[in-house]
Chain A
Amino acid sequence: MDMPDPEELEWMESHGLLPEEEEEYAYFDDPDDEGSLPAAGAGDQPRVAPQETTAAPAKPAVEVLEGNLKRPPPPPPPEQEEERSKRRNVDREDSGDEDWLRYSTPLVVEVVAEKAISRFAIEIRGECIPVTAPNGERVYAKVATDGLDGGGIGGTRERTRVSKPNFDHNGLLSESFHSLTSRAEQEALAKALQESTETQNFESCPVTPLVTEQLWVEKYSPNSFTELLSDEHTNREVLLWLKQWDSCVFGSHIRATSDDVLSSLRRHSSTIQKNSSNRNFFSKSKGGPVTSQDNMLQNAHGSNSEDLTSSFNKRSSTDNAPEQKVLLLCGPPGLGKTTLAHVAAKHCGYHVVEINASDDRSASSIEPKILDVIQMNSIMSDSKPKCLVIDEIDGALGDGKGVVEVILKMINAEKNNSSNSSTSAEDTQVRKSSRKGHKIPKLMRPVICICNDLYAPALRQLRQVAKVHMFVQPTISRVVNRLKYICKKEGFKTSPIALSALAEYTECDIRSCLNTLQFLNKKREALNISGFDSQVIGRKDMSKSILDVWKQVLQKKRLKRIEKADSNFSRDKDINSLFSLISNRGDYDVTMDGIHENFLKLSYHDPMLQKTVKCLDVLGVSDSLMQYVYRTQQMSLHVYQPPVAITISQLVAQVEKPNIEWPKALQRCRTMLLEKKDKLKTWQNQMSPLISRHLSVESFVEDIASPFFHIISPSSLRPVALNLLSEREKDELVQLVDTMVSYSITYRNTKLEPQERISGSMVSPDVLSLSLDPPINDIINFKGYQSEHIGISLAMKQVLVHEVEKHKIIKDSAGKLLNQANEGGKRNEVSTSEKTSALVTTKGFSKINPTTLKMQLSSASSMSGKDPAKKYSNHGINFFDRFRKERPVVAKTRNDAGQQVATTLRDSRPLIFKYNEGFTNAVKRPVKVRDLLL
């Protein structure tokens, strides 16, 4: 017989120390019965008579055997427990007098103690088997033979043997182990009854007094992987992920988990997954939120596990860490996330280092800590690698962020490193990575983060890089089983129905269940199903995510059959739960926005729209209330917000699952509104104050915008050369340019938008279009609305751009002129002449004198002949474009304008026209190479 598994030992330990008791009895009772013998420990009893060897070794052996045979892995099945307790009860009834009990047991044991048990195998003659007691003591027990058996057996033993003649192991046992166990239990009972005798009590049952000090939650927290209460599949996924670190962390292949183990793990988890999906299907009949969560989880799992398997397959050849370096466990409190992390890490041979919300978690203080964990090996303990568990990472926003930042930095460093340099496999190994110093260290140890709210803003980035696991509630039966087991252990009487009700009430939060039970136990009250609300059961201060709130509001709970009977009651309950849900969330503004955004999409029956009207009315009330509260700062009035949501819920909530969307529209509306207002304001600031003072944003949008765009895109203007325009057209053009300048509008190159490109089939892709700058024409672009505005042609726009540009320059210089007065003197030719021309032109504008206008126009066009070199190079329009308008200009100067104009032109312009008859329109002008390069 080998050493029993640790878990079995553990179980034995928790099941009340039977072997020890026996031994103790032996010690104590020896002298009484056999006065001649010195009271010696069981260990030094070499003198034992060979005939009596049988029963003694049987004692521990029986226990071990029983452990092996009868007991399934913990938690033990309740049937056995029950059976046992029944038996115990029976026993109690039978044995009214304790004296008998006390007497009978020692009698047997005393006989036992005489036999061949020894710490040393040599001291036992014949065959012997090693037996290890739960306290680690190892003794050797002599194997009895049938023949020797008969002699020293007392009457009791004979009786039992007769009663169980068919027992297999009677070679070892002097007596059936059933009777032994029952007797042992009797003893335990007897001891429990004898609580007055303290010393004995303390020695025999050291656990009981501890109950008062230790929380049940800690006392019964699972210690091994198989004891975990959380969802099997999740557990395995976590384990799988941890196992993938093996090759990286432990380095050598010896300890690395072999592929087939992993694959079998994976296979197993996938089958589990299927199972769980089935289970989910069934659980759909129970309450809504669970189902939806399950579905979400399902999706997450599906994708995750696929990812993982594929990524693992890819990388399994190279010794590397898994693709996702961080595991993010999230789920409501009390489901055992932290426990799982600890247990799984221990199971995989890590030393767990936990950082939780109680620690200082600013980025600066956390970084060295993390470095410690991921780089150093502890010399102190067992030199196990460390595994970092960051608990409640979403907890405090500011602090949590620090951790997230550090981790992200490390992950990113890793990525960059592996992408830009060919890091050899060795480099990625931990020990080598410590060579850096200046570099940001890589993440070479598993990091498990735990959070309650996956969608906390602090986690946004982490979510993308981490492997996310949602925790689901364990099934109620599982929780109840465990609770039952614990209650039994604590001797707390409960009914399974009450336990399952409790589990349901706390949403399978095992921690809260246990605390409640312990509390009740302490108060010596029974668990009462009906009075959960009145009882002191700790209601969690649940603040659910806002999406859940919306879901709850807009989704009616499917009534169970029982509840249908008293629907009034359940309605009450619904309202209460909604109220607390919403008020716990608190963020009424967003809550209402979300309801408003989503309620119309529900398919409620409302032929006359009365429900809709009612809903919108109460939303309006909520809005007014909100405004009032903000204005008067009477926050206590917020208490009236949840009823608004409840009203809506009662009106429109449907059984089917709503498709909840985040209320983007309203927020988008707000930001866009501000943006546009801002844009218009800045635009106004560019105008001259004489105009902008009369132009508020509202009046512009309401009255001016539409006509304004009509006015600045006249249909009558033809995109022809300026000289071909009639007087009136020129007049119009001048006026238009003047308008554009005074409203500080011009056209600007923009990339064609894709849709425009499709519609404008004629336009070749490399031609840029011109659009208004600032883009105030957005203001009349409504979605799904075709405005009647006709855009002016591209060529016309180009003309306008030039004109406006030129006009601005003229205006500027005119302003300069006014400011500077006539300082005259040392001005170079260019500036003075420009000034004079500017003066002329501005005068022309004010008078609208046709002749000066013509001149101005022509000068303008000739000037536009000057500009292009710069302008066009900027705009990148193709080469020949620039001649389109210039050639006519030159032609005009030659033919149309006549000699008089030409001379005035020449005098007023700073340019020198070198005109060679016939073909060229070359302009001589000093240009720097730099300008050409642009």
Chain B
Amino acid sequence: MLWVDKYRPKTLDKVIVHDQVAQNLKKLVAEQDCPHLLFYGPSGSGKKTLIMALIKQMFGAGAEKVKMENKTWKIDTGSRTIEIELAMLSSAHHVEMNPSDAGFQDRYVVQEVIKEMAKNRPIDAKGKRAFKVLVLNEVDKLSREAQHSLRRTMEKYSASCRLILCCNSSSKVTEAVRSRCLNVRVNAPSEDQIIQVLEFIGKKENLQLPFGFAARIAAQSNRNLRRAILFFETCKVQQYPFTSNQVAPPLDWEQYVSEIAADIMKEQSPKRLYAVRQKLYELLVNCIPPESILKKLLAELLKKLDSDLKHEICHWAAHYEHKMRLGSKAIFHLEAFVAKFMSIYKEFLVSTFG
């Protein structure tokens, strides 16, 4: 097991990073009831960990016995029958699923599947909890329609069911859904917190951490706890005892993006743009989300850019990311950003150096 999984806190008490949040959550469920919850925060900050710990807090060890099942739902929409296959993780007390997996049919998942499960009251009410918990991941990827149908479900079946929603950005969750939940912000851990975690793991693993090593990894991880722990383990595997200036190898895709950035800086022409396009395709094919590509690309470009241009470039990056969300062909917009950058940069070069 990777350290990421091995040292994942199982209970709310053991949480290191968001201990304050954890304590509040514990108090929240100490009473018999709890509201709907919406966890949001950047990836690698510990949302899922908190949720799992919370569920364990609610239901005890019984919630840990989970099984994975792929269920096919047949949904009658009046004119035709749609079949949706959905993977879900369920225990006696809760169900986890990712409704946005259904793509544009997510509406039906929310309307039918979730409603179906929400309706079913758990039979043995003699336990302490008279409700079931539904964990929905990646709510921000749900379509607007699905979110709209979600809000009715939340109200109607609140007696028998609690929803725990989990997403990266609360801005993509509609106001209506947000207002029905207790919002829990799980922010990215600070570097100090990451160092704390790394030192904790180091102690458990009986490792000698040279001074500044943890800090370096924390800095490299970009405030992503998961990444930090993985980097830490990588370093350990590659070389132990640690040397004073050891760093973890960079992520491959980020490395590739920085290569692209270098390409862009070197030459600005339609021909080069075409070459860049091929590389972007390569990244997209390997499941790298286009938003991450754009963000990373921007970061790489900004590193090498004259400060006069930074503001403008950021503006355009935001512009094209917005467009990308509106459309479906990410490559068009990524490429448009690259072209825009090339255009601005070249103009800048010409005006500065003649």
Contact = CB atoms under 8 A, between A and B. Distances in A.
Chain A partners chain B: yes
Interface stretch (A11-19, A225-233, A372-380, A686-694): A686-694
Given A668-B281, A702-B288, A711-B234, 15 more contacts: A596-B332, A608-B350, A623-B326, A631-B143, A669-B285, A673-B285, A692-B68, A693-B96, A702-B253, A703-B43, A706-B250, A711-B2, A716-B237, A780-B252, A780-B253
Contacts of A604: 270
B335 A616 contact: yes
B66 interface: yes
B256 to A, nearest CB: 5
Contacts of B226: 699, 703-704
B311 to A, nearest CB: 18
Given A608-B346, A609-B270, A616-B339, A676 B68 contact: no
B79 to A, nearest CB: 14
A689 B138 CA distance: 18
Interface string A370-398: 00000000000000000000000000000
B336 interface: yes
Contact of A609 (B87, B274, B339): B339
A702 B293 CA distance: 10
Contacts of B284: 669, 673
Given A616-B335, A673-B285, A707 B234 contact: yes
A701 B255 CA distance: 13
A705 interface: yes
7 contacts: A609-B343, A673-B284, A704-B230, A707-B251, A732-B237, A742-B1, A785-B252
Centre residue among B70, B274, B329 by max chain A CB count within 10 A: B329
B273 interface: yes
B64 interface: yes
Interface in A606-659: 606-610, 612-613, 616-617, 619-620, 623-624, 626-628, 630-631
Interface in B263-297: 268-271, 273-274, 277-279, 281-289, 292
A701 B328 contact: no
Given A596-B332, A782-B279, A702 B343 contact: no
Interface stretch (B31-39, B44-52, B302-310): B44-52
Given A609-B269, A609-B342, A783-B282, A706 B253 contact: yes
B332 A783 contact: no
B326 A624 contact: yes
> Chain B interface residue count: which class?
35 or more
A292 B253 CA distance: 43
B253 A701 contact: yes
B186 to A, nearest CB: 14
A676 B285 CA distance: 8
Contacts of B87: 681, 685
B209 interface: no
B5 A677 contact: no
Contact of B52 (A608, A672, A693): A693
A706 B240 contact: no
A715 interface: yes
The 9 A-B pairs with the shortest beta carbon distances in the complex, nearest first, are: A623-B327, A616-B336, A707-B230, A609-B343, A780-B252, A624-B326, A710-B234, A714-B237, A707-B234
Given A600-B274, A610-B343, A788-B249, A703 B227 contact: yes
Interface string B317-344: 0001001001111011101100110110
B324 to A, nearest CB: 8
Contacts of B328: 623, 626-627, 630
A735 to B, nearest CB: 8
A96 interface: no
A787 B52 contact: no
Contacts of B52: 693
B218 to A, nearest CB: 15
B231 A715 contact: no
Nearest to A671: B285
Contacts of B278: 665, 783
Given A676-B285, A711-B233, A620 B270 contact: no
B112 interface: no
A565 B275 CA distance: 40
A699 B274 contact: no
Nearest to B221: A703
B89 A693 contact: yes
A103 to B, nearest CB: 83
B67 interface: yes
Contacts of B339: 609, 612-613, 616
A612 B347 CA distance: 14
Given A616-B335, A689-B89, A699-B226, A608 B347 contact: yes
Contact of A785 (B48, B256, B346): B256
A310 interface: no
Nearest to A617: B336
Nearest to B334: A616
Contacts of A715: 237-239
A697 interface: yes
B43 A701 contact: no
Contacts of A669: 281, 284-285, 331
Contacts of B5: 690-691, 694, 742
A689 B96 CA distance: 11
A739 interface: yes
A334 to B, nearest CB: 38
A691 B89 CA distance: 12
Given A600-B273, A676-B287, A710-B234, A609 B281 contact: no
Contacts of A783: 278-279, 282
Contacts of B224: 703
A704 B277 CA distance: 25
A609 B285 contact: no
B274 A601 contact: yes
Centre residue among B5, B64, B274, B287 by max chain A CB count within 10 A: B287
Interface string B90-102: 0000001010000
B287 A698 contact: yes
Centre residue among A703, A705, A711 by max chain B CB count within 10 A: A703
Nearest to A665: B281
B181 interface: no
A708 interface: yes
B49 A694 contact: yes
Nearest to B224: A703
Contact of A600 (B4, B49, B270, B282): B270
A613 B323 CA distance: 14
Interface string A764-783: 00000000000000111111
Contacts of A778: 286
B248 interface: yes
B259 interface: yes
A687 to B, nearest CB: 9
A499 to B, nearest CB: 45
A742 B138 CA distance: 25
B137 interface: yes
B129 interface: no
Nearest to B268: A609
A680 interface: yes
A155 B259 CA distance: 106
B119 interface: no
B8 interface: yes
A694 B89 CA distance: 12
B135 to A, nearest CB: 9
Contact of B68 (A600, A666, A689, A732): A689
A779 B286 contact: yes
Nearest to B333: A620
Contacts of A779: 286-287
A716 B249 CA distance: 16
Nearest to A603: B270
Contact of A624 (B1, B233, B277, B323): B323
Given A626-B328, A707-B231, A710-B237, A600 B277 contact: yes
Contacts of A693: 48, 52, 66, 89, 96
A437 interface: no
